[in-house]
Amino acid sequence: MSNQTGITLALSKGRIFEETLPLLAAAGIVPTDDPEKSRKLIIGTNRPDVRIVIVRATDAPTYVQYGAADMGIAGKDVLIEHGGAGLYQPLDLKIACCRMSVAVQAGFDYAAAVKRGARLRIATKYIQTAREHFAAKGVHVDLIKLYGSMELAPLVGLADAIVDLVSTGGTLKANNLVEVEDIMPISSRLIVNQASMKTKHAQLQPILEAFEAAVEATA
Ligand code: ATP
Ligand code: MG
């Protein structure tokens, strides 16, 4: 692609960028701009052969899949929805940790609805995850795709339940929702383009090893 010899890393702004900085530092990589302050989408680093592209969190796997970035970082939630085609996922970085949960409005008897075999309306950004979760439980669902503010859906009668990420539970609580199922723990993973792993192995391997050592040191 456009960066034949160097390494391009796809990162999203916000928590993933912030929590990746120490890992980059462990690999001797320091970005030359702060994406929260700069409007640049391509950010240099102290290393002439390493650059960072700023992408939407959901898009990181796509950039890496097509080789527009050699590596990137994406949440397990995002990787499940993407499907993982064309990607290696060599390392759980144990950053941006939270959990995927089912939540309902306080007072809705979720267990009873499931027990009587009711068809449930589920609003979520995570269609794939939700589909697999309810299929495995044998619960019939109608899935409604949303792009944000999932917490609103049960409150206005759009859905019986939501599937969403929860960390502290503060947002659920503030909106009178309760968590009724913990689907899976979520953290972010390093993703690597499968072709780059071979053609740029000499450049990628030291970065991978530094990340791995840094993750182990904080565990
Ligand atoms: P945007 O906020 O731009 O709509 P997004 O929500 O996908 O996009 P982030 O909020 O930066 O992007 O989240 C990136 C990743 O961080 C998610 O894919 C998930 O793995 C993780 N994450 C999301 N919410 C939390 C949270 N509350 N606590 C910890 N990790 C989280
Ligand atoms: Mg977000």
CA-nearest residue for atom 3, ligand 1, is 56
Express as a percent the part of the chain with pLDDT over 90: 97
Residue 113 placed within a domain: yes
Percent of the chain at pLDDT > 70 equals 99
Q: Are residues 110 and 182 in the same domain?
A: yes
CA 80 / ligand 1 centre spacing (Å): 14
**C-alpha distance from residue 181 to each of 52, 62, 123, 155, 178 (Å):** 37, 30, 15, 18, 9
17-60 per-position pLDDT tens digit:
999 999 999 999 999 999 999 999 999 999 999 999 999 999 99
Instruction: Check: CB of residue 191 under 8 Å from CB of residue 89.
Output: yes
CA-proximal residue: ligand 1, atom 4 (nearest)? 148
Q: Are residues 25 and 37 in the same domain?
A: yes
Split at pLDDT 50, 70, 90, the class of 219 is confident
Angle between helices 201-218 and 15-26 (to 10 degrees): 110
165, 122: one domain: yes
The three-state secondary structure class of 11 is strand
Tell whether 115 is covered by a domain.
yes
Q: What's the total number of domains in the chain?
A: 2
Location of structure tokens 């929590």:
19
Ligand nearest the Cα of residue 35 is 1
Same domain, 34 and 139: no
- Residue 165 tokens, joined: 């990420």
Same domain flag for 75 and 122: no
In a domain, 83, yes or no: yes
Q: Do residues 132 and 205 both lie within one domain? A: no
Inside any domain, residue 1:
no
Q: What is the CATH number of the domain that holds 32?
A: 3.40.190.10
For residues 179 and 102, membership in a common domain is answered with: yes
Name, in order, each residue with C-beta under 8 angstroms of 109's C-beta and a sequence gap of 6 or more. none
Q: Which residues of 91-113 are buried (b: 16+ CB within 10 A; e: fewer)?
A: bebebbebbbbbbbbeebebeeb
Among 98, 150, 183, 184, which is best to mutate for testing ligand 1, by the most ligand atoms less than 8 A from CB? 98
* Whether 92 and 191 share a structural domain: yes
Confidence (pLDDT) at 2: 52
Q: Are both 55 and 81 inside the same structural domain?
A: yes
Same domain? 90 vs 192: yes
**What domain range includes position 70?**
7-96+187-218
| Average pLDDT value over all residues in the chain | 97
Q: Does residue 2 lie in a domain region?
A: no
Residues 76 and 148 in one domain: no
Within this chain, do residues 159 and 205 fall inside the same structural domain, yes or no? no
